[in-house]
Chains A and B, each alone.
Chain A
Amino acid sequence: MAQLISRLRVWRGAVLLLAGLYFLVPMAASVWFSIDDRDGISFEAYTGLLSAEGFTDSLVLTLELAAVTVVVLLLLLVPAMIAVRIGSPRLRPVLEVVCTLPLVVPPVALTAGLIGVLRWGPDYLMDTPFFQTFVFVQQPEFPLVLVVAYVLMALPLAYRALDSGLRAVDVPTLVEAARNCGASWPRAVVSVVLPNLRGALLNAAFLTLALVLGEFTTASILGYQPFAVWIYSVGNSQGQMSVAVSVLSLLITWVLLLLLAAAGRERRHKTAATS
């Protein structure tokens, strides 16, 4: 028995070691690549970033897009999912299909479709409000068409995250209890259901955020320049800087995730203490 356990440990250790190597080496190599200079070590690729042309503009645009996408996505998805749990279980398959279908359509194909739709507008609807809508969603300062694409792409991820959160909570009973205590509908949802979903909401928001931060396909084909597209243009001329940005983007994602995990944990402690 002891032999078996030690054999298992060796096996487990080997698996983890190999996996660790495979995943750590590219990171270490990237960091090294970005600071390796002919005469030693140089952090120029990092320090030069802030002053690089287009860096702040593209970053701000991406963050704005991400914020709007997260808000729109949660506002659309959360009420629908709670409603399906509480009172309309028949709509559940519909919701599931709606939230799974975008998985079937790759971003490139979705972009092709969006371009197809946008081409309809100018052609036959010149003097109608439709045309103005098409112009409005494509304005370069804030391309709403990207938000539409991002919400669709994030839908399956967010649905999964929220669904697993909802599974752990008996929503109908919670709402029933709150309603019996005289809470209004919005209050029952906001102050009883949502706090229980905190982890799932954060998870969904994080996945969406990460998706938007890294999204390249749609934005580049439609001709906008959020952060990922900017990195691409930098990569063509300054190899070191593009790697530096890659390292930074990985770090930022990591920090975000750790912060969110910490936030979720803190909340859980609080509820445990007060209850």
Chain B
Amino acid sequence: MTTAPTPVPTPAAAETSGGPGAPGPVTSSPAPPPVGRRLLRGGSWLATVPLLAFFLIGFGLPAVAIVTGAFTVSSDAETGAGAFTTANLTDSVQGAYWTALLSSIKLSALTALIGTVLGVPIAQAVLTSRFRMLREAVLTASGVLANFGGLPLAFAFVATLGNAGEVTRMFHLTDHGWSLYSFTGLAVTYLYFLVPLMVLTITPALEGLRVQWREAAQNNRATTLQYWRHIALPILFPSLLGGFVLLFGSAFAAYATAAAMVGATVPLISRQIADALSGNVLVGQGNLALALSLDMIIVAVLVMAVYLPLQRRSARWLS
């Protein structure tokens, strides 16, 4: 039972974005002979070697650099050899750095939560719509917008809701206390790519909800609300949580949008790292940046750790 191939591939769930509904030819051979399969094996693992080697060098070395750097104080700039210390890490969770870390976590959690709550009804509305065109258009648009992070997004929002932005001027928003260069402004901007990301992420799961389940619920006189409350949402829960984690990660890692838009008004950990790396080159700042990076990674790992065990559960229902 270790790696049984999924017997019924659901092509609908396989489409991630923008694909037209028609699935490719599905070869349905229920039980392939195990004897022939063995012949295929010899040395196929070799094909994974380049990827693993690349990963070990490209990802492994920086990871080692982060961990060792975070725990050393480079007293001697010439040799780079340093002594073990926890000073970098303790510094990184104090004062302005701690504020920035908390502020990053707060912003990411809030925007991810709003994104999750808003993304699901949009995805559901699109999926159940009668118009196929609308559905394709929204999924394509989501694909584009989910990748529309970074600088262009910041500039677009400055043009829209910034101090001299079109919408700001039209509705005199500044008089009402609106500022794009604030926590709220940043959250509104982040939602512009987080909501489409959620739509993309949750669509396969929503498609995986079988019509029969709904019919069965209706036959038992369940209302729509009851169907969602007791059947659909529990099944979707791991997918929803997965989407939330993805959104949190995207918001947490985002740097360019904030850098171009709010500058230093909203303290964010990613900006602190960039400043420590590229800004004033004080001795030891580099290692402080590595310690801050380690903090960031720890937060991301903790968030992921909540999600991974739950994801297995969803596989039972939505393959």
Contact = CB atoms under 8 A, between A and B. Distances in A.
Interface of A: 4, 8, 11-12, 15-16, 19, 22-23, 25-27, 29-30, 32-34, 36, 75-77, 79-80, 82-84, 86-89, 91-92, 94-95, 98, 101-117, 119-120, 123-124, 148-149, 151-152, 160-161, 164-165, 167-170, 172-176, 179, 196, 199, 203, 207, 210-211, 214-217, 220-221, 223, 228, 231-232, 235, 239, 242-243, 245-247, 249-250, 253-254, 257-258, 261, 264-265, 268, 271, 275
Main SS class of interface, A:
helix
Contacts of B24: 168-169, 196, 199, 268, 271
Contact of A168 (B14, B129, B158): B14
Given A12-B128, A29-B160, A249-B152, A261 B41 contact: no
B3 interface: yes
Contact of A108 (B59, B118, B253): B253
11 contacts: A29-B160, A79-B50, A87-B41, A88-B48, A92-B3, A103-B300, A110-B62, A221-B277, A228-B256, A232-B260, A246-B151
A33 B165 contact: yes
A23 B143 CA distance: 13
Contact of B80 (A119, A161, A164): A119
Given A32-B166, A167-B9, 10 more contacts: A26-B159, A80-B47, A98-B51, A106-B270, A112-B293, A124-B79, A164-B16, A217-B255, A231-B152, A275-B25
A168 B39 CA distance: 23
A34 to B, nearest CB: 7
A98 B59 CA distance: 9
Contacts of B144: 250, 253-254, 257
Contacts of B110: none
9 closest cross-chain pairs (CB), A and B: A113-B62, A116-B65, A87-B44, A106-B253, A246-B152, A109-B293, A33-B159, A83-B47, A87-B41
Main SS class of interface, B:
helix
B18 interface: yes
Contacts of A151: 54, 58
Contacts of A22: 192, 195
A12 B130 CA distance: 11
A175 B24 CA distance: 17
Interface of B: 2-3, 5-6, 9, 11, 13-20, 22-27, 29, 32, 36-37, 39-48, 50-52, 54-55, 58-59, 61-66, 68-69, 78-80, 118, 121-122, 125-126, 128-129, 134, 138, 140-141, 143-145, 147-153, 155-161, 164-167, 192, 195-196, 204, 224, 249, 252-253, 255-256, 259-260, 270, 273-274, 277-278, 286, 289-290, 292-294, 296-297, 300-301, 304
B255 A107 contact: yes
Contacts of B151: 214, 216, 228, 231-232, 235, 242, 246
A148 B68 CA distance: 21
A23 B147 contact: no
A7 B29 CA distance: 44
B64 to A, nearest CB: 8
B19 A199 contact: yes
B244 to A, nearest CB: 14
Nearest to B61: A117
Contacts of A265: 20
A75 B50 CA distance: 9
Given A164-B15, A214-B149, A253-B148, A101 B50 contact: no
A170 B68 CA distance: 44
Contacts of B11: 168
A106 B6 CA distance: 33
Contacts of B140: 254, 257-258, 261
B41 A235 contact: no
A257 B58 CA distance: 29
Contact of A88 (B45, B58, B158, B278): B45
B160 A30 contact: yes
Contacts of B152: 214, 231, 245-247, 249-250
A79 B192 CA distance: 36
B65 A79 contact: no
A124 B134 CA distance: 60
B155 A108 contact: no
Contacts of B13: 164
A75 B51 CA distance: 9
Contacts of B32: 170, 172-173, 176
Nearest to A214: B150
B226 to A, nearest CB: 14
A111 B42 CA distance: 39
A103 B51 contact: no
B27 A113 contact: no
